[in-house]
Amino acid sequence: MHLINGWARFGFVPTRVLSRSLLSAALCAAVALTGATATAEAPLAADGATGIGDPYWPLDGNGGIDVSSYAISNRYDLADKRLSGRTKVELTATADLSSFSLDFLLDVTSVTVDGADARFATTDGGHELRITPAQPLAAGSAHSVVVSYADRPGKYSYAGERNWLASRREVVTMNEPHMAPWWFPANDHPLDKAIVDVRITVPSGREVISNGKLRGRSVGKRTTTWHWRADEPMAPYLAFFAAGDFTIAKGRHRGLPWLVAVSRGLSGTDQAASMRLMKRTPKVVAGLEKDLGDYPFSVVGGITTSLDPGFALENQTRPTYPAVGSRYTSLVVHELAHQWFGDDVAVHHWRDIWLNEGFATFMEWRWAENHGGRSGAATLRQHYDDLSESSDFWKVVVADPGAARIFDSAIYTRGAMTLQALRNRVGDDVFWTILRSWLREQQGGNGSSEEFEALATRVSGQDLTGFFAAWLRTPSKPARTADNGLA
């Protein structure tokens, strides 16, 4: 995510993957909190926990399940802002379950589990869809859950967020840390990535853009169904669709397919400028690959909306942007850097958000350095010198900022400063080995700040305990010392 012009509001915004055994153990522990008892001979089914264990948002994700895929089939009425449809969720029980939850806000009309009707109810302020199948689910068993629904997503809020961004001509489902529950039932936490297949039906003459590749389009007399599917699993908040009137451009760059779209709801001048910016996407990816290694997904792109979210977002394979003109290449750099830092390697918990935003901001600095601008070292010095010791900027604990401050400017800038200071401390070659090792070892999974710090220590051969304490865990300005990468 990248905030535009300082605009901000809350909510618009394991080694590699947590191993299945660890995930199962953690979720079973959560289930045990319900008070169920079990014996070695006959374990008793229990209600799955209503959260995956993230203290920032205790209702995010759910205990006892591991989702492998979502097949979303929705119809959206732009004029009425009404969404209806059904989502097939393929999941595995990681504990013996009498019931389980999905995160969903809309009005549900029916639920089936393996084709049989299931009882359901909404709980916890309407955020949890509690499903009770006809028969308990055994640990390790796979199941198909189909949820049908119809509602107006704009009516709903969660955790202080009202995330449905729509006019009568256009809609785009872009937001962080939450977005999925407004348009499909999900295990809504980055720890549970899944394949996402999206079919959206809209009035004929309107376009739909989503993640991944366009797999097909079915044109009827009055409606058209667009089918998109991404090849790689993703965190639920990174799934999106946009519907409206869009100009689409596509091609290949060094073998990588790209597709970009720009809303026709913009003025002619803004459409032309936005398309020029979007078409820089494949070249920006190629530039980032020089530092980070191969782009992690099978397709890339971007979309500019005519709506006014006030931020850009790193939707997997196809970031979404507001209209900012043709010169804001740094914004494209930021969101595409997230494809490595945030999408391919997702946070373990939301407190680790600096691993997304600090890294993407640092790659903006690196892009400037490589394209005739200031060096990363000079950018670090300027920020350090310009921010007084009394500034609130230094009071944010970057490695654990709290839910209300995960998009604070310090997460972005102090996070990037941490990386440049690390670069100064360990040297350029070692630094880039650290970043590439991080991406390689965590590929396709999740990572925590502690894991990154341990990797940096291992690769550099230096004791970096004090360094990371000063930059990430101390609510004050780091001392200007060589140990802190500032001498």
Of 459, 427, 460, which Cα lies nearest the Cα of 440?
459
Q: What is the pLDDT of residue 1?
A: 86
**What total number of domains does the chain contain?**
2
Distance CA 100, CA 300 (A): 35
**What mean pLDDT is predicted for residues 174-180?**
98
Q: Is 422 within the bounds of a domain?
A: yes
> Is residue 21 over pLDDT 50?
no
8 Å CB contact between 131 and 97: no
Strands 213-219 and 223-229: what pairing?
A: antiparallel
What is the span of the domain harbouring residue 469? 350-473
Q: What is the mean pLDDT of residues 378-405?
A: 98
**Mean pLDDT of all residues in 193-209:** 97
**Tens of pLDDT along 118-154?**
999 999 999 999 999 999 999 999 999 999 999 999 9
Q: Is residue 18 over pLDDT 50?
A: no
pLDDT of 4: 66
| pLDDT band for position 70 (cuts 50, 70, 90) | very high
Q: What is the pLDDT of residues 32-47, one digit of tens each?
A: 333 344 444 456 899 9
Question: In terms of domains, do 365 and 228 share one?
Answer: no
Which of 211, 234, 257 delimits the end of a domain? 234
Within a domain: 5:
no
Of 480, 481, 486, 437, the closest CA to residue 457 belongs to 437
The tens digit of pLDDT for each residue in 417-446 reads: 999 999 999 999 999 999 999 999 999 999
The single residue listed with the structure tokens 């900012």 is: 324
Residue ending a domain, choose from 214, 234, 254: 234
Q: Is residue 161 part of a domain?
A: yes
- Give the pLDDT mean for 388-402: 97
- 87 lies in a domain? yes
In the numeric block, which tokens belong to residue 461? 């051969």
Helix axes 354-370, 329-337, angle to 10 degrees: 130
Q: What pLDDT, on the 0 to 100 scale, is given for residue 31?
A: 39
Task: Say if 332 falls within a structural domain.
Answer: no
Mean pLDDT (whole number) for 44-51: 94
Query: Where is the domain boundary, 184, 216, 234?
Result: 234
pLDDT over 90 at 474, yes or no? yes
Query: For residue 43, what pLDDT is reported?
Result: 63
CB 52 within 8 A of CB 60: yes
CATH code (residue 416): 1.10.390.10
Per the CB < 8 A criterion, the answer to whether 434 and 421 are in contact is no
What pLDDT is attached to residue 17? Answer: 34
The enclosing domain of 69 has a CATH number of: 2.60.40.1730
Decide if 357 is inside a domain.
yes
Q: Specify the pairing of strand 300-304 against strand 320-321.
A: parallel
